[in-house]
């Protein structure tokens, strides 16, 4: 599946879930996508296990017009990401423009804060199910859920299904 010419932003912050950043990153590159790591207010971020990643750019320097899609990984990073108005603005703009948004695990917190879940069906890590429901989503317990431009998954073990669905949607 050659997706040359497509650009996808992957949001990062400290305490990101290692697999939920690196697995999508390498799958995107494998498919010919330009994957850009977008951080908040610095260049280097540490995962839950201390593994570093260097951001290509900070979120205050990008706009939705630069990307075809966005991935929000999980871990504890989403609780930090949602505190940045620029992150919330980027997610809202991507949604308003109908661009693909992928969210894994605790990434649902960012979607809640961006108010992009109303009327959509989604999944997430079971511990934040109530947050998604209270934000207006219909929750289902499945490995991957696609509702229009939104693709969600529950946990790292769901990454193969998540990326198959994400890449297929990006190719449309």
Q: How far apart are the first and last CA of the chain?
A: 11
Beta bridge partners of 114: none
Judged by DSSP in three states, 83 sits in coil
Q: Angle of helix 159-171 relative to helix 18-30, nearest 10 degrees?
A: 40
Query: Of the residues 6, 82, 106, 120, which is catalytic?
Result: 106
Active site residue 106: yes
Of 96, 143, 135, 95, give the one whose Cα is nearest residue 117.
135
So which residues are the catalytic ones? 106
């Amino acid at each position: 599946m050659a997706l040359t010419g497509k650009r996808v932003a992957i949001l990062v912050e400290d305490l990101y879930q290692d697999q939920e950043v690196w697995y999508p990153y390498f799958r995107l590159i494998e498919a010919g996508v330009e994957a850009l790591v977008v951080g908040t207010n610095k260049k280097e971020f540490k995962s839950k296990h201390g593994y570093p990643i260097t951001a290509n750019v900070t979120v205050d320097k990008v706009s939705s017009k630069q990307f075809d899609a966005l991935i929000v990984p999980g871990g504890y990073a989403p609780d930090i990401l949602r505190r940045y108005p620029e992150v919330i603005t980027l997610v809202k703009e991507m949604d308003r423009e109908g661009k693909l948004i992928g969210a894994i695990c605790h990434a649902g917190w960012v979607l809640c804060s961006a108010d992009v879940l109303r009327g959509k069906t989604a999944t997430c890590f079971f511990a934040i199910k109530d947050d998604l429901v209270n934000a207006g989503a219909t929750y289902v317990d499945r490995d991957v859920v696609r509702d229009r431009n939104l693709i969600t998954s529950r946990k790292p073990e769901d990454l193969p299904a998540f990326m198959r669905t994400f890449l297929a949607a990006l190719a449309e």
